[in-house]
Amino acid sequence: PAARPVRLRIGRAMPIARALGAGRLAMADPDSVPAGKYGKAALTALGVWPQVQDRIARGDNVRAALVLVERGEAPLGIVYATDARASKGVALVGTFPASSHVPIRYPLARLTASRHKDAEPFRRFLLSSAGRAILTRYGFSAP
């Protein structure tokens, strides 16, 4: 929570169990939700999954995990950086190394059978320099 930020240097063998204290680690379900799968992969790559696997407060989605931290029901959570930055109720502790999980990608496609006349212009806008600047401003890597 922003009011009680936890200090934790993200890295191999980080003392995450100690940082949690008696609390649980909020994250989207690591068995079924993409954000949870990325989080589990990162924790596994950093060698700390065994320390926390039985202390997970599972959310149905990443926003539910974020709410647990915002409310102070969990001292730490694993969410997308874009969601953490958008919340005034949490403090960003750090980010996982890119090498600790598969790349997080958001594909962009236009359905060929789409009847929405604005679909193609919107796709072109997102790929334009103005669209890329907006994506970057909100924490996304530009396509």
Domains, the chain, ordered by start: 16-100 (3.40.190.10), 105-143 (no CATH)
The residue-averaged pLDDT of 1-13 equals: 80
Residues 29-62 have pLDDT tens digits of 999 999 999 999 999 999 999 999 999 999 999 9
Contact present, 52 and 8 (Cβ < 8 Å): no
CB atoms within 10 A of CB 34: 14
| pLDDT at 19 > cutoff 70 | yes
Residue 2 pLDDT level (bands cut at 50, 70, 90):
low
Residue 1's pLDDT is what? Answer: 73
- Cα–Cα dist 143/132, whole Å: 7
CB atoms within 10 A of CB 84: 20
Residues 62-114 have pLDDT tens digits of 999 999 999 999 999 999 998 998 899 999 888 999 899 988 888 888 898 88
For 17, the 3-state DSSP assignment is helix
Residue 127's pLDDT is what? Answer: 94
pTM to 2 decimals? Answer: 0.81
Residue 4's pLDDT is what? Answer: 73
